[in-house]
């Protein structure tokens, strides 16, 4: 799995840099509002990718460490930071083993990445360790209710071999609380996607598009309702949901 993650993201690093959805998605604005970052905050952005989340927050806070498993993603982040005149630090490391002292940060974020982790509880324990008491964890990740989460995971594994498992809202609440956090805010952000946009930045030529379309067309009535699956003149549509939460290390 480690090699699959690095292979996928090294190949698509420039695509994530260019992705307008990742650069300025509605979930980023919501996450920022819920986190309420301040000038003294020290951020660790875990699975930072090409840095869109950390670079959005950087003008509002004291410092930012961007951690990612893939060097090419962080290279893109450094170029973006330089273009914007922002000072950041980057570190190639696993989400469950960040070589920094206990309590070194007051903010931890992970946006649109946790579904790639083979060990989400381990990531949450590491975020808890890295945060000082009273520090806040902010997460945004794809989700669906228990009716449709299995279907979402099937689609994602066909789209992206590095996909691990997306959690339902109930699954996120249980996992975050089990790691010792107090959940302060939990919202679901939804957006209608045509299928080809859902697949981006992966090219349709890179996936078995027919298999994905067949899965969606064969979905049960309950799954279709939960995911808002419909067919229009521009193709199959479905609603992508993201869980956006902020929790405090108590």
pLDDT tens-digit series, residues 43-55: 999 999 999 999 9
The answer to whether residue 13 scores a pLDDT higher than 50 is no
Task: For 127-157, write each residue's pLDDT tens digit.
Answer: 999 999 999 999 999 999 999 999 999 999 9
**Is residue 201 one of the residues assigned to a domain?**
no
pLDDT of residue 25: 85
Whether 169 contacts 188, CB under 8 Å: yes
pLDDT > 70? residue 205: yes
Looking at the structure of the chain, the number of domains it has is 1
In a domain, 48, yes or no: yes
Question: Count of residues for the chain?
Answer: 250
Cis? peptide before 201, omega within 30° of 0: yes
Within a domain: residue 197? no
C-alpha–C-alpha distance, residues 65 and 48, integer Å: 9
Query: pLDDT above 70 covers what percent of the chain?
Result: 90
22-67 pLDDT tens trace = 556 899 999 999 999 999 999 999 999 999 999 999 999 999 999 9
Q: 164-182 burial by CB neighbour count: b if 16+ within 10 A, else e?
A: bbbbbbebbbebbeebebe
In this structure, is residue 217 part of a structural domain?
no
With 70 as the cut, is the pLDDT of residue 11 above it?
no
pLDDT bucket at 12, cuts 50 / 70 / 90: very low
> How much is the mean pLDDT over the chain?
92
Predicted confidence at residue 80, as pLDDT, reads 95
> Considering the entire predicted model, what is its pTM?
0.90
Asked if residues 144 and 226 have their Cβ atoms less than 8 Å apart, the reply is: yes
For residue 197, the SS3 value is helix
**Average pLDDT of the residues in 153-178:** 95
Domain holding 155, by residue range, is 2-191+241-249
Which pLDDT belongs to residue 2? 53
218, part of any domain: no
21 in any annotated domain: yes
Give the domain CATH number at 143: 3.40.50.150
Asked if the structure places residue 161 within a domain, the reply is yes
Does the pLDDT value for residue 6 go beyond 90?
no
Band of pLDDT at residue 209, cut at 50, 70 and 90? very high
Q: Is residue 227 part of a domain?
A: no
Phi-psi label, residue 47: left if phi above 0, alpha if psi -120 to 50, beta otherwise: left
Indicate the pairing of strand 42-46 with strand 235-249: unpaired
Contacts of 98 (CB under 8 A, 6+ apart): 44, 46, 67, 91, 126, 130
Q: Provide the pLDDT confidence category of residue 203 given band limits of 50, 70 and 90.
A: confident
Mean pLDDT of 91-112: 98
Given a cut of 60, is residue 165 above it in pLDDT?
A: yes
Local confidence band at 14 (pLDDT 50, 70, 90 cut-offs)? low
Average pLDDT of the residues in 95-111:
98
């Amino acid at each position: 799995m480690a090699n699959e993650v690095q292979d996928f993201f090294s190949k698509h690093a420039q695509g994530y840099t260019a992705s307008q959805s990742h650069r300025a998605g509605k979930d980023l604005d919501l996450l920022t509002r819920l986190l309420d970052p301040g000038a003294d905050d020290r951020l660790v952005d875990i699975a930072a990718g090409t840095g869109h989340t950390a670079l959005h927050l950087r003008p509002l806070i004291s410092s930012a460490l961007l951690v990612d498993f893939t060097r090419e993603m962080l290279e893109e982040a450094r170029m973006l930071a330089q273009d914007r005149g922002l000072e950041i630090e980057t570190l190639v490391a696993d989400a469950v083993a960040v070589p920094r002292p206990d309590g070194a940060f007051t903010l931890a974020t992970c946006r649109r990445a946790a579904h790639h982790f083979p060990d989400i509880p381990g990531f949450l324990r590491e975020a808890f360790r890295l945060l000082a008491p009273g520090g806040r964890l902010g997460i945004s990740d794809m989700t669906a209710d228990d009716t449709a989460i299995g279907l979402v995971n099937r689609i994602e594994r066909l789209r992206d071999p590095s996909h691990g498992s997306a959690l339902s809202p109930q699954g996120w609440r249980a996992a975050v609380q089990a790691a010792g956090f107090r959940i302060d805010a939990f919202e679901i952000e939804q957006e209608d996607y045509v299928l080809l946009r859902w697949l981006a930045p992966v090219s349709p030529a890179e996936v078995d598009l027919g298999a994905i379309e067949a899965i969606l067309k064969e979905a049960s009535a309950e799954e279709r309702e939960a995911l808002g699956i419909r067919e229009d003149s521009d193709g199959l549509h479905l609603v992508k949901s993201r869980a956006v939460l902020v929790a405090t290390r108590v």
